[in-house]
Amino acid sequence: MKNKKLVRITTVPESMRTLLKGQLRFMRNYYDVIAVSSNGECFNDMLQEQGVRGFCINMTRQITPLVDLKALFQLILLLWKERPDIVHTHTPKAGLLGMIAAKIVGVPIRLHTIAGLPLLETTGYKRKLLNYMEKLTNACATRVYPNSFAMKEIIIQQHLCAPRKLKVIANGSSNGIDTLFFSTKNILQSREEIRLDLGFKQQDTVFVFIGRIVKDKGVNELIDAFKEVMSRSVKLLIVGGFEKERNPILPENEKFIINNSCIKFVGWQSDVRPFLYASDVLVFPSYREGFPNVVMQAGAMGLASIVSDINGCNEIIENEKNGLIIPPKNHDALAEAMKRMIDDVELRMIMSANARKMIRARYEQKMIWDELLKEYRSLESNV
């Protein structure tokens, strides 16, 4: 019997390669899977890694009416030709164009995953426009998947989608985490060797931040807080790249990151595991998230975390069990949490010991994939 056809769409291939790593390859065992995304540098690598066929349709993250109309027309033609049973979109622009196209063509099962809402940090005319686009996306979908329970409540509160369409898969997260890969047992170097290579002493307390170095990730607050706690034995490891054109941090904080001897800046890294292994605490004071992979990655590597009290973060972290939760945009609270991690080593070690087992119990990748497959099968039976 021929497998049914599943089309997965993201705005850029990097999202499919990283945020959905391995998921399309898993679904290939049950469906004829087609990947659709913009033509980026990693598009062909993504297809090879996922083991699926795909099509390039240029989509942008910005509001670009002419480009968007062209992409919508191309998506309609592609879906008309392929006649998929399921279309499942991720990321805002792919969701908008993919759900409209699938609705026009008459695809019976139209699914959209919401991993974050950029509109929450916007105001005025742009906020109204983003609200309308989100509502249109969700109206065209037959089912909408917030990737956290808090995100589901935000969507309901903002009247962005009919509650009957909303469902969180498993315990949240779009893809879960591969805890076999994110394990200290898979690191070839010892923790001591990695710390030595980075210039850290074994007795140092090392905080690590991983992510885009932008305002919305709370990096300005992180630098302000670190200035209050830094010393010869307290260090900050920053893994990620500056984005000077979109949402940049303050220029003086960028200089501080690059020039301060207590900060080790290593830029973007394809494999963050050695840097997590070398650290003591993840600090992630983001303003908004969907379901942050880095917090799950840190937990799987046995790190306690300091996170903002925002959706996703406050579901992965239980206060004082596997980390500390602080108010967003509050450098004083962040500094106090960092001081507590430095001073109360016993509490930090207890939270670190809890971290990996809590991630394995709730967000193991295979469990997320199995639940999503079960959802697909259930929806098929009702068509």
Domains of the chain (ranges plus CATH)?
5-176+365-382 (3.40.50.2000), 184-363 (3.40.50.2000)
pLDDT at 110 over 80: yes
Band (pLDDT 50/70/90 cuts) for residue 116 is confident
Check the CA dihedral 235-240-244-247 and report its sign: negative
Residue 381, phi then psi, degrees to nearest 5? -70, -20
Is pLDDT at 320 greater than 80 in this prediction? yes
Taking the CA atoms of residue 212, residue 155, residue 147 and residue 377 in that order, the dihedral angle to the nearest 10 degrees is -150
Summarised one tens digit per residue, pLDDT across range 128-144 is 998 999 999 999 999 99
CA distance 373 to 380: 11
Between CA 94 and CA 132 the distance in angstroms is 15
Predicted TM-score (pTM) above 0.75:
yes
Q: What percent of the chain has a predicted confidence (pLDDT) above 90?
A: 87
Are 308 and 218 within 8 A, CB to CB? yes
φ and ψ of 234, to 5 deg: -120, 120
**Once rounded to an integer, what is the mean pLDDT over residues 299-309?**
97
Task: Calculate mean pLDDT across residues 340-348.
Answer: 97
Residue 91 phi, psi (nearest 5):
75, 145
Q: Is the pLDDT of residue 346 over 90?
A: yes
Contact call for residues 268 and 239 (beta carbons, < 8 A): yes
Contact 249, 272 (CB under 8 A): no
Burial class (CB in 10 A: 0-12, 13-18, 19+), 211: buried
pLDDT computed for residue 1 by the predictor: 58
CA distance 292 to 295: 6
Note the pLDDT tens digit of each residue in 239-260: 999 988 778 999 999 999 999 9
Residues 323-335 have a mean pLDDT of: 97
Model confidence at 119: pLDDT above 80: no
Higher pLDDT pick, 382 / 33: 33
Lookup: tokens for 230: 């830094």
In the predicted structure, residue 304 carries a pLDDT above the cut 90: yes
